Structure 1
């Protein structure tokens, strides 16, 4: 089962991806983690990425796609994977399609956790206030200003992949404002429906 999780920061992608990993035994592929692993392993793509990052640049789509290609060839991803944080742009979505087609694979579903973005900011502010009240450090990305910037970046760059996958018929929308367990149940019900179609 090959899945992509999309949704703005704070929508609960990380929480749901962890549950999918546990439930289905397929790895969650986070581009940030893979990038660091490729650099540490000094793979050819990792060395290219290190060069760009050391120079303070952003890693190109070509490098990111190369890292994903290497990663999905590993044994634990043979039965599928969950992509989280990728594709971030239309060019990455198109490159992913070509790469999967070249390997005789295809995506099973793209799951969008749809949320009310105005309430997301409130959710983050509340989480930050609770942390402060408990005398705990506030997560850097829970700073409302930082969070608003991440939300703007998502809306500017990544939200465009949603209509792309909608056109392909792969997109399924889940209400991300439900309770966490209800979101999980909605995703599982969707995936069972996919199994029945196969």
Structure 2
């Protein structure tokens, strides 16, 4: 399977729209423009950009929301209707205003959360907040883990939430080397990382 990347000013799953390609983005960046954003100071997290994964010239099935120097990354896998099926979050390693989240390491980044979404049976695009439920796993570098299962009960009704916490979770595989520009495989295929 041939993979190619499309760089965008911003990206996010949305319904089909005449001004947004695949409902994902409105402005494509050149590779040079994307490199310039990636090379910005890691503290400039507001200057994030999008990386859309396109395989075999078909509709994209995943995209990244990428901060400069990978100082915070989200990857969203999409279903055939363009809804987010799974979201992966690598937390920021440097946030000047919040020293509690400063891991002090600009050579690697930590996968801190994975969320799987379930939607109604009708095959169409749904925003994540229209899901009927989700399962989230969050992780800490210290081996803390939490699973949260959310089942929505209907408009105006509180959701059912089940939570389980874990200690001493093996999180070695959650660390990913901060890649050189264009080497996005670890983010698009986190399940293959060891």
Name the TM-score class by shorter chain.
under 0.3
Instruction: Choose between structure 1 and 2: higher helix proportion.
Output: 1
TM-score norm. by structure 1 comes to 0.27
The alignment's TM-score, normalised by the length of structure 2, stands at 0.27
Say which structure, 1 or 2, has more relative contact order (CA 8 Å, 6+ apart).
1
Structure with the higher strand share, 1 or 2: 2
